[in-house]
Structure 1
Amino acid sequence: MGDHPLIPDYGGACIASIVPALLEPGPTTPPWLPAAAVEADQVVLLVLDGLGWDQLQDRLATAPTLAGLDGGPVTSVTPTTTATALTSIATGLTPGEHGVVGYRVAVDGEVLNVLRWSTADGDARRHIDPEQFQTHPAFAAHRPAVVTKAEFASSGFSGAHLCEVRFNGYRVPSTLVTEVGRLLRGGEPFIYAYYDGVDKVAHEYGLGEHYDAEVAAADRLVGDVLSVLPPGAALVVTADHGQVHVGDRIRTLHRDLLPHISYQSGEGRFRWLHARSGRAPALHEAALAHHGHDAWVVTREETIEQGWWGPAVSSAARGRLGDVALVAREPVSFHDDADSGPFVLVGRHGSLTRDEMLVPCLVGTG
């Protein structure tokens, strides 16, 4: 997987730079963004959740539409997880600035599941206000039209990263295309669209034939969106993260770590360990000894000093990090009994490997 983590290119070819380049362009177009996107009269930004650059390159024959678009790879953010990455795309900010620093984050001694907006006690919207958790405006306060699944519009996570946008819900992929076409005909200058199928299939089935079929389906979706672009419009396709096929390579924490741990947050490929009082150094030492062969074992301060979260880290963001992180560099996942879902995840993400970090930024025109 690589000897060193791939640090996001904050300020450069990174998903956090896409929306600022489209909505508030500077005097020159960034070299990583095809000029057609900036010069267009109307722009559709389509996020294909879970489609990594390397996974796409391995499947160009089954994705001819995507293969024919202009552009290349950009980096995701830390960690390579949907909650953090979508917030960076929408706000144009680094995780250190917006503070949504993971899928499961520490909040006043609880662990908040950001996508479900829940804690161990259930729905967290009553005591963790999404709009106060993440206070920066989405899309530089332009209030664009957003096309996403209808059930997402009222979620806590949407309140945190898509506050005050104009929601246009869809139920199935065909209606995503219909909604985008309707909005384009209505003259919308910028439309944000989100599709989660690739990620869902990767999680449940891994990167085998089911994933291949879903990438082909997503490619047809891109073709359908291109077909409704009027002259002078452009489609920008990106993703929030890539994927790794983990399968049953699940690692249980070594017993020597357990006396030092209060609780865990994060996710399988970016597992935060929160130390008991005074035990952070011992926890770090034990984690290095027993899991250093599978993971980059780093302290909170090391991740901040090395720029994993961006050049600036707010006090709120810092307070949501753990003491020691196990960041998988091999195709493994670190188990936490409190981190579970309706099925065992086969494909995963979250770490800073190339497969997870690089995503496409591709442009096509009407």
Structure 2
Amino acid sequence: MTPISPVVPVYDGPGLSSLMPTLLGVGDESWLPEPCRRARSVVLLVIDGLGWEAIRSRPEQLPTLSSFAGGSISTVAPSTTAAALTSITTGVAPAHHGLIGYRIRVDGSVLNALSWRFPDRAPPDPSSVQRVAPFRGQSVPVVTKYEFARSGFTQAHLRGGPFWGWHTVSTLIGECRRLSDLGSPLIYSYYPGVDEVAHQYGLESSFYESELSFVDHMVKELLSVLSSDTALVLTADHGQVNIEPESWLGLSAVEDLVDECSGDGRFRYLHSRRGRAQDLLATAQDAYGAQAWVRSKEALLDEGWLGPTPTPAVIRRIGDVVLAASDSVAFIDPKLPGEARLRSAHGSLTAAEMEVPLLAHRGLRA
């Protein structure tokens, strides 16, 4: 028996998918940190992979962030970049926007949502896979890495607003200052470094500690150039779990029942062979139930993990069985064995993955 319960996302109140509508003035803002209320301009900084656990447990690396007002909120499920960033920008749950994992089964093939590639054919039009207008159709300036400008994933979750690409962190800071000083009421900015370092080196490495210290310095510098009537609001798409090499588990117990895998290492969708869904569920529960929350597609939807009222397209994309890791393990997709080189992972519903910061501080420039 799994000794802990999953942290089910909040979709109808203070949670990551409600943040953008609230910042745009739709709905009750009483749950937002006080510094972002009545601000002339808001800079939303999304730091990929910086979960609440890192902020709570490592104040020595994060003294600036530790001084911010606010606390933790829940991200979405799966707790992974494609799903969560799209929920931030669209303001809806994965059940509605449809980017339900790192790799998604779309029209009979598995789409890598971040590289926006199929293995066997041309990729789809991003707006046909994710149909919800980002930023509720408003023109919100986006400050993110320059090389993301033409990617399919960028078109899926950031289309419609002016794009300002940064090459270095100093230009991220400079663009946010410039746009705020020009009067933009809301600016969306994104930094991926914490997630990248965690995946390569793990959460217990000196490299990860150094990256946290670097991020804190970056935030301090950003605060110093923002005016006092501008609020810096900081959040993340997900937290992380450290994964040792031997904790990447194969799926040999169910391989004869699985047609294909999708999703993430810690939120693995298993698409059954025709007519074998019930056999797959029973076998997966026996083989992996001590290390994961094993759910059928129907149970996943009934429990609302992906959000309310899933679209027909989303229902088709979900595997017949889902393995959501509860222990510090991840499940290897046989078609993506290189994923097992990652030293941290996310996607599941543990507190370390699901709890993300929602913090705010006014700019320090007079």
TM-score range, shorter chain: over 0.9
**Alpha-carbon distance in structure 2 between the residues aligned to 1:239 and 1:343:** 23
Question: Residue 34 of structure 2 contacts residue 69 of structure 2 at CA under 8 Å; is this kept in 1?
Answer: no
Change in Cα spacing, 1:2 to 1:11, as seen in structure 2 (3 Å) is farther
- Return the match for 1:212 from 209, 227, 236: 209
1-10 or 95-104: bigger deviation: 1-10
Q: CA RMSD of the aligned region, Å?
A: 1.4
Matched, 1:258 2:255: yes
Matching residue's letter, 2:273:
R
1:275-294 alignment to 2 at 5 Å? 275-294=272-291
Change in Cα spacing, 1:118 to 1:340, as seen in structure 2 (3 Å) is farther
The residue that corresponds to 2:23 in the other structure is: 22
Question: Residue 148 of structure 1 contacts residue 194 of structure 1 at CA under 8 Å; is this kept in 2?
Answer: yes
**Alpha-carbon distance in structure 1 between the residues aligned to 2:339 and 2:177:** 35
Change in Cα spacing, 1:177 to 1:75, as seen in structure 2 (3 Å) is same
Question: Residue 21 of structure 1 contacts residue 30 of structure 1 at CA under 8 Å; is this kept in 2?
Answer: no
Change in Cα spacing, 1:267 to 1:343, as seen in structure 2 (3 Å) is closer
Question: Residue 69 of structure 1 contacts residue 363 of structure 1 at CA under 8 Å; is this kept in 2?
Answer: yes
Matching residue's letter, 2:35:
A
Matched, 1:334 2:335: no
**Alpha-carbon distance in structure 2 between the residues aligned to 1:332 and 1:122:** 32
Question: Residue 29 of structure 1 contacts residue 35 of structure 1 at CA under 8 Å; is this kept in 2?
Answer: no
The residue that corresponds to 1:40 in the other structure is: 39
1:205-244 alignment to 2 at 5 Å? 205-208=201-204, 209-244=206-241
1:106-153 CA-partner distances (Å, limit 9, x unpaired)? 0111000000001112651xxx11011111111111111100000101
The residue that corresponds to 1:130 in the other structure is: 126
**Alpha-carbon distance in structure 2 between the residues aligned to 1:274 and 1:15:** 28
Offset of residue 343 of structure 1 = 7.8
The residue that corresponds to 2:358 in the other structure is: 361
**Alpha-carbon distance in structure 2 between the residues aligned to 1:218 and 1:41:** 25
**Alpha-carbon distance in structure 2 between the residues aligned to 1:288 and 1:24:** 45
Offset of residue 231 of structure 1 = 2.4
**Alpha-carbon distance in structure 2 between the residues aligned to 1:210 and 1:13:** 33
**Alpha-carbon distance in structure 1 between the residues aligned to 2:132 and 2:337:** 30
Offset of residue 38 of structure 1 = 2.6
Query: What is the identity percentage for the equivalent residue pairs of Structure 1 and Structure 2?
Result: 44
1:20-74 CA-partner distances (Å, limit 9, x unpaired)? 1110243x4233x113213101000000000000121111111111000000000
The residue that corresponds to 2:267 in the other structure is: 270
**Alpha-carbon distance in structure 2 between the residues aligned to 1:266 and 1:214:** 27
3-state DSSP class of the match of 2:60? helix
Offset of residue 2 of structure 1 = 5.4
Matching residue's letter, 2:184:
E
130-139 or 68-77: bigger deviation: 130-139
**Alpha-carbon distance in structure 1 between the residues aligned to 2:330 and 2:279:** 22
Matching residue's letter, 1:11:
D
**Alpha-carbon distance in structure 2 between the residues aligned to 1:160 and 1:340:** 26
Taking structure 2 as the reference length, the TM-score comes to 0.96
Offset of residue 264 of structure 1 = 0.6
Gaps of 5+ in 2: none
Question: Residue 267 of structure 1 contacts residue 339 of structure 1 at CA under 8 Å; is this kept in 2?
Answer: no
The residue that corresponds to 1:182 in the other structure is: 178
The residue that corresponds to 2:194 in the other structure is: 198
**Alpha-carbon distance in structure 2 between the residues aligned to 1:284 and 1:167:** 44
Question: Residue 82 of structure 1 contacts residue 103 of structure 1 at CA under 8 Å; is this kept in 2?
Answer: yes
How many pairs does the alignment contain?
Answer: 360
**Alpha-carbon distance in structure 1 between the residues aligned to 2:299 and 2:119:** 29
Matched, 1:156 2:157: no
**Alpha-carbon distance in structure 2 between the residues aligned to 1:72 and 1:122:** 44
3-state DSSP class of the match of 1:286? helix
The residue that corresponds to 1:317 in the other structure is: 314
**Alpha-carbon distance in structure 2 between the residues aligned to 1:247 and 1:30:** 41
**Alpha-carbon distance in structure 1 between the residues aligned to 2:211 and 2:278:** 45
Change in Cα spacing, 1:115 to 1:254, as seen in structure 2 (3 Å) is same
Offset of residue 193 of structure 1 = 0.2
3-state DSSP class of the match of 1:235? strand
The runs of at least 4 consecutive aligned structure 1 residues that moved more than 6 Å come to none
- Return the match for 2:292 from 291, 295, 302: 295
**Alpha-carbon distance in structure 2 between the residues aligned to 1:225 and 1:20:** 24
The residue that corresponds to 2:116 in the other structure is: 117
Offset of residue 341 of structure 1 = 4.7
The residue that corresponds to 1:307 in the other structure is: 304
Gaps of 5+ in 1: none
Question: Residue 48 of structure 1 contacts residue 196 of structure 1 at CA under 8 Å; is this kept in 2?
Answer: yes
**Alpha-carbon distance in structure 1 between the residues aligned to 2:149 and 2:92:** 22
Offset of residue 14 of structure 1 = 0.9
Offset of residue 345 of structure 1 = 0.2
Offset of residue 188 of structure 1 = 1.2
3-state DSSP class of the match of 1:337? coil
**Alpha-carbon distance in structure 2 between the residues aligned to 1:227 and 1:341:** 41
